Amino acid sequence: MLSLTCPCCGITAEETEFAPGGEAHLKRFGPGSSDEAFEGYLFARKNPKGVHFERWRHAYGCGKWFLAARCTATLEVFGTYPAQTTQPPAELIAKIKAKRPEWEGWA
């Protein structure tokens, strides 16, 4: 039972208040994109055993989507941040790097 902090309303709440939404920072490919790019957008997932950037919605709270950096092997949550961005905040990446020197980084 995870505990997450919504960066939009600031509330720390039970997992049951949130809805998970899969990998974050996927780039949408629409008409005109290659088959490969479109397939990658819809299906190919990093699914790492380790640091994972992912989407959550505060579904039974403020209703906002947000993003989280979380370790899938320990469930440690490094941080959450608003969804309106195409990449994780630099300070969050630095924080993870400091905690996990062996982490290959966000790409």
Partner 1 sequence: MSTRLAKGGRLIDRAKPLNFTFNGKPMRGFAGDTLASALLGAGQVMVGRSFKYHRPRGIVASGAEEPNALVGLGRNARFEPDQRTTTTELFEGAETRSQNHWPSLDFDIGEINDRLYKFFPAGFYYKTFMAPRAAWKHLFEPIIRKSAGLGGVPKEADPDRYEQAYAHCDVLVAGGGVAGLAAALREGRAGKRVWLVEQSAHWGGRTPVDDGQIDGVEAEDWIAAALEELESLANVTMRTRFMAAGLYDHGYVIGYESVADATPGDGRPRHRLWRIRAGLTITATGAIERPLAFAGNDVPGVMLASAVRDYIVNWAVSPGDRTVIVTNNDDAYRTALALLDAGLTVPTIVDAREETHGALPQEVKARGVRVLEGRGIARVLGRSRVTGVEICAQAGEGGAVETIACDCVAMSGGWSPVVHLWSHCGGKLIWDEPRAMFRPDPSRPPTGADGAAMATVAGAANGDLTLAETMAGFGIGACSHDEAALAPVWMMPAGATDALRYKAFLDFQNDVKVSDVQLAAREGYTSVEHTKRYTTLGMATDQGKLSNINGLAVLSDALGQPIPATGTTTFRPPYTPISLGAITGEARGDLFQPLRRTPIQSWHEAQGAHWEPVGHWRRPYCYPRKGESHSDAVGREITNTRKNVGMLDASTLGKIVVKGPDAGRFLDMLYTNMMSTLPVGKCRYGLMCNENGFLMDDGVVARLSEDMWLCHTTSGGADRIHGWMEDWLQCEWWDWKVYVANLTEQFAQIAVVGPKARALLERLGGMDVSKEALPFMHWAEGKLGDFDARIFRISFSGELSYEIAVPASQGLALWETLMAEGEALGVMPYGTEALHVMRAEKGFIMIGDETDGTVIPQDLGLSWAISKKKADFLGKRAQERSHMTDPNRWKLVGLETLDGSVIPDGSHAPAEGYNANGQRNTQGRVTSTYYSPTIGKGIALGLVLNGPDRMGEVIEFTGEGETQIKARIVETCFYDKEGEKQDV
Partner 2 sequence: MKRYSIFAVAREAMRYHAGWERAWRSPTPKKRYKVIVVGAGGHGLATAYYLGKVHGIRDVAVIEKGWLGGGNTGRNTTIIRSNYLQDPSAAIYEKARALYEGLSQDLNYNVMFSPRGLLMLGQTEHEVRGYKRTVHANRLQGIATEWIGPERVKELVPIINIAGPRYPVLGALYQARGGTARHDAVAWGYARACSAMGMDIIQKCEVTGIRTEGGKVQGVSTTQGEIDCEQLAVVVAGHSSVMAEMAGFRLPIESVALQAWVSEPIKPCMDVVVMANTVHGYMSQSDKGEMVIGGGTDGFNNYTQRGSWHHVEETTRALVETFPIISRLKMLRQWGGIVDMTGDRSPILSKTPVEGIFVNCGWGTGGFKSIPGSGYAMAELMARGHSPLAAEFGLERFREGRFIDESVAAGVAH
Q: Does the protein bind partner 2 through residue 72 (CB under 8 A)?
A: yes
Q: Confirm or reject binding of residue 37 to partner 2 (CB under 8 A).
A: no
State the nearest-atom distance from the C-beta of 72 to partner 2, in Å: 5
46 binds partner 2 (CB under 8 A): yes
Task: Tell me, by CB under 8 A, how many residues bind partner 1.
Answer: 30
Question: Which residues neighbour 4 within 8 Å (Cβ) at sequence distance 6 or greater?
Answer: 12, 13, 15, 18, 56, 68, 77, 80
Determine contact, residues 66/81, Cβ cutoff 8 Å. Answer: yes
Single-letter residue type at 33: S
Q: Which stretch binds partner 2 (CB under 8 A): 25-33, 66-74, 85-93, 95-103?
A: 66-74
72: closest CA among 13, 22, 37, 18? 22
Residues that bind partner 1 (CB under 8 A): 1-3, 14, 19, 21, 28-33, 35, 38, 42, 55, 57, 59, 63-65, 71, 74-78, 83-84, 99
